[in-house]
Amino acid sequence: MSSPKVLFGFHAVGVRLKTAPKSIIEIYYEVTRRDARMRQFLDRANEAGARLIEADSVRIAKLAGSHGHQGVAARVEAVAQVTSLDELLEDLEAAGIDQPLLLVLDGVTDPHNLGACLRVADGAGAHAVIAPKDHAVGVNATVAKVASGAAETVPYFMVTNLARTLKELKERNIWIIGTSDDAPQTIYQADLKGPVALVLGAEGDGMRQLTRKTCDALVSIPMKGAVESLNVSVASGVCLYEALRQRGG
C-alpha cells in the first residue's frame, strides 16, 4: 500500500471530500480562520465524517510544504486509479467511448503549469493527460493545489518513451495533432471530432523534434497581438475547448 500523501487548499481537499471521503485520514485547519468559506468547508468535512484537527498556519505550511494552503491541509490515502494508458483506453472502449480526447504535454516541468493543465483537462472532459518521465513534473502537493481537485479526477500517465507511446496511440486509430507556431493550419481548421491526442510543448522550446515528427498533423493558435506564444495551460485550454465545441459540448 502506498504511503499517505498531502493535499492542501479548499479546492483540492474539497474535491477529495466529495469524491472519496473515506480516503481522508485527517484534515488540519487553521483555527483562527473563522470566515464563511472556512465555516462552509468545516460543515462539509463534518458531514463527511472526516477527522478534524485544529492547527496554526505554521504547522499547516510545514505539512503542505507551501504557504498557499488557505488554512486547510489533509493527509489522505491514495485512491485506486487506472494504472496504465492501455487499461484506460480499454476501459473507455468497453464503456462505448470510441472518441477519446487526450492531452499530451512534452517538456512541461513547472508544477503550476501542470496543475493548470490538469484543471483545464478536467473542465473540457479530457480522458487523460500524458507526459514523458524524463521531461516532466510529477503530481506533487503544489500541482494538486493549482489543479483545484483535477489531480484527483484526471488520469496522468508518465511514459518512458513518448514517441513510442504516440505511435501506439496511432495503432489505436487515435489522430495525433501537435501544436506549432509555424503550422500551416489553425486549431479551428482541424477536425477534432474523432479520437484525438493534442500535443503541446513547453513554452519557448515547444515540442521536441522527434515528438513533432511523430504527429499526424500540426496546427497553430492564431496570435493577433505582439506576444508570440501563450502559456502552455492557456494553449491547452484553447485546444481542448475547441475539441469540446466541435464535439457538441
What CATH number does the domain containing 17 carry? 3.30.1330.30
- On whether the CB atoms of residues 137 and 111 are closer than 8 A, the answer is yes
Shared domain for 159 and 232, answered yes or no, is: yes
Is there a single domain that holds both residue 47 and residue 122? Answer: no
Residue type, position 249, single letter: G
Same domain flag for 52 and 152: no
* Rounded Cα gap, residues 156 and 145, in angstroms: 15
Picking from 59, 76, 93, the residue at the C-terminal end of a domain is 76
User: Grid coordinates in use for 182?
Assistant: 509555424
Q: Does one domain contain both 121 and 202?
A: yes
Residues of the chain with pLDDT under 50: 1
Which residues 6+ apart lie within 8 Å of 55 measured at CB? Answer: 28, 29, 30, 31, 63
Looking at residue 2, its pLDDT comes to 56
State the pLDDT at residue 1: 45
Full residue range of the structural domain in which residue 171 is found: 85-246
Q: In the chain, what's the furthest Cα-to-Cα distance?
A: 57
Domain count, the chain: 2
Q: Are residues 130 and 240 in the same domain?
A: yes
Residue 195, classed as helix, strand or coil, is: coil
Q: Which of 56, 76, 96 is the last residue of a domain?
A: 76
The sign of the dihedral angle between the CA atoms of 33, 36, 37, 42 is: positive
pLDDT at 80: 67
pLDDT of residue 54: 97
Whether residues 162 and 236 share a domain: the answer is yes
pTM, full prediction:
0.74
Domain boundary among 43, 59, 76: 76
**pLDDT computed for residue 220 by the predictor:** 95
